[in-house]
Amino acid sequence: MEADKAIKLEIFGDDESLWALDGQSRICNRLYNELVHRASEIKIAYTQTGDEYFATMLYSKRGLRNLIPEIKKEYPFFNTVHSSPLKNTGLRLSASIQASQKCKKGKRKGSSGWPHFRSWRASWFSLLYDEPGKGFKVEGSTLRLSLGRTLSGERQYLVLHLHEAHLLNGYTIRNLRIVREAGKYYAIFAVKVTVPEKKPIKKVIALDPNHKNFAVGVDTEGKSVEIQSPYWIKQSEKRIDEIKSKRDRCKKHAREVNVLDDQGKPTGNTYTIPSRRYRKFEKVLERALHKRREQTKTFMFTVAHGLCRHYDCIGIGDYAPDGSGLTRAMRRSMNNGSLIGRFKDILHWTATKSGKHCIKYDEKGTTRTCHICGYEVPGGLSPSVREWICRDCQTFHIRDENAAQNGLAKILRDLNEKGEPYGSLVPSSGLVFVQERWAWRVSPSGIHCIRSGGGIASNRKRQEIKPESMMLSTKT
């Protein structure tokens, strides 16, 4: 079985070559804005006429891409970019429009509105060469890119150098994407890798992702694992807010410049040139965002590899932040600072390349349901309730641990229904009481496992990360 893997290598070149990459990105950004303009006109025409021709052009996968040859005739400078990045610019916009339609019809979670014009200064437009060997060639540590043709019809090329190009040895390259992050240029190669066959299931863990901590898991050996959230997220957000505040104070020093025509007369249009200090803070902000992105990625891969080392099957709840929250700070913590959605993709890939199983289970009702007797708390549990006692069987529950127990029961039931081969996981019902409790704290050096007691008597004292919290009333 084969799968795709991404290898990210830094690109080096002289100033002229790197400026040429910027020029290619600017032209693709210009094409994207042109297609957004035309797509808006097509949308209006479809609304007024109801002609299915406009609908096919607007909402099909390749409808907007087919407009590019006509645009290239109207604006010949688009020919200076290779056809692959131009083609994928149209496909990128079509995918954005389709996502917007699915969100509008309730077929896709989250929110995605109609595409807007892009600012190249705010976000560098990536260059995608999606066909193997078409438009690019790797020879040793040299990357040769095709940039299209000049107005006279001459083919242009760009020669760049790759850092640690030996990482590509033995792989078949499927496509290439050029990006710029924090002032540096990178080539991201998608390569084919052979993944191992799935291993027999002997140990299973169910994870309940949340925001008080990163996740709480319960396994089939009676161990409860609490994974601490990255402690540096709040400090990083604070630092980024400070930089943004200093940058935004410089907006009043921006200069407004009139756009002139060929004869040097004002056209009535204007554009803004930010101050030197604003541009300085913009670069500092870009580096801070890049650092946070790399740190969070390292954190998630460390946790995923740790889970795959210990377990053969990892289940995780299907919860994902949806933009809700009681306060502004809570909404920001749940959406901007949350890593849950990205972590699920990373966990699935890590399990795939390790020959392990990764299952996503339905979390509905797992928090308010007692895993012992099945009693459901009417109306659910408030987020402030971290511990509660079942009114039927009087069992003491810790909120996240109980949800993970219910998730584990669902996973084991699904494995039985699918007939997955696994050893004798646990006796009788397939579930055991929690006997050991561990806290996982992730640092740059790895995962530190801290044992924090066990047994019902130590329930309230055993949590290393969360403080004691409110308990639900036991009155019937």
The answer to whether residues 76 and 34 belong to one domain is: yes
Residue at which a domain ends, from 168, 194, 220:
194
- pTM value is 0.78
The answer to whether residues 220 and 185 belong to one domain is: no
What's the pLDDT at 432? 62
CA distance 228 to 39: 46
What's the pLDDT at 470? 31
Looking up tokens 């079509």 gives 94
The answer to whether residues 22 and 168 belong to one domain is: yes
What's the pLDDT at 431? 57
The answer to whether residues 164 and 183 belong to one domain is: yes
The answer to whether residues 299 and 172 belong to one domain is: no
**Helix intervals (H) in 60-214:** 68-74, 83-104
Domain membership flag for residue 382: yes
Domain membership flag for residue 358: yes
What's the pLDDT at 466? 35
Q: Is the dihedral of CA 17, 19, 25, 28 positive or negative?
A: negative
The answer to whether residues 108 and 215 belong to one domain is: no
Domain membership flag for residue 320: yes
Domain membership flag for residue 76: yes
The answer to whether residues 18 and 84 belong to one domain is: yes
The answer to whether residues 33 and 179 belong to one domain is: yes
What's the pLDDT at 341? 84
Q: Is the dihedral of CA 304, 306, 308, 314 positive or negative?
A: negative
* pLDDT (tens place) for every residue of the chain, 476 residues total: 778 889 999 999 999 999 999 999 999 999 999 999 999 999 999 989 888 889 898 989 889 999 999 999 999 999 999 999 999 999 999 999 998 888 888 877 667 789 999 989 889 999 999 998 899 999 999 999 999 888 788 889 999 999 999 999 989 999 999 999 988 999 999 999 888 888 888 899 999 998 778 899 999 888 999 998 888 888 888 899 999 999 999 988 888 888 887 778 888 888 888 899 998 999 999 999 999 999 999 999 999 999 999 999 999 998 776 656 566 666 666 666 578 888 999 999 999 999 999 999 988 888 889 988 888 888 888 878 888 888 888 888 888 899 999 999 999 888 887 776 554 444 334 456 788 888 898 887 788 888 875 443 344 433 333 333 333 333 32
Contact assessment for residue 147 and residue 156, using Cβ atoms and an 8 Å cutoff = yes
CA distance 315 to 359: 5
Residue at which a domain ends, from 194, 223, 257:
194
The answer to whether residues 306 and 442 belong to one domain is: yes
The answer to whether residues 212 and 81 belong to one domain is: no
CA distance 177 to 409: 42
CA distance 21 to 44: 35
The answer to whether residues 157 and 22 belong to one domain is: yes
Contact assessment for residue 403 and residue 208, using Cβ atoms and an 8 Å cutoff = yes
The answer to whether residues 216 and 122 belong to one domain is: no
Q: What angle do CA 249, 253, 255 make, to 5 degrees?
A: 140
Domain that residue 298 falls in: 204-237+280-471
Sheet containing 313-317: order of strands: 357-361, 313-317, 204-209, 215-219, 223-227, 436-443, 446-451
Q: Which residues contact 438 (CB under 8 A, 6 or more apart)?
A: 223, 224, 225, 226, 449, 450, 451, 452
Domain membership flag for residue 260: no
Residue at which a domain ends, from 140, 167, 194:
194
Domain membership flag for residue 188: yes
Domain membership flag for residue 267: no
What's the pLDDT at 255? 85
Count: domains in the chain: 2
Domain membership flag for residue 462: yes
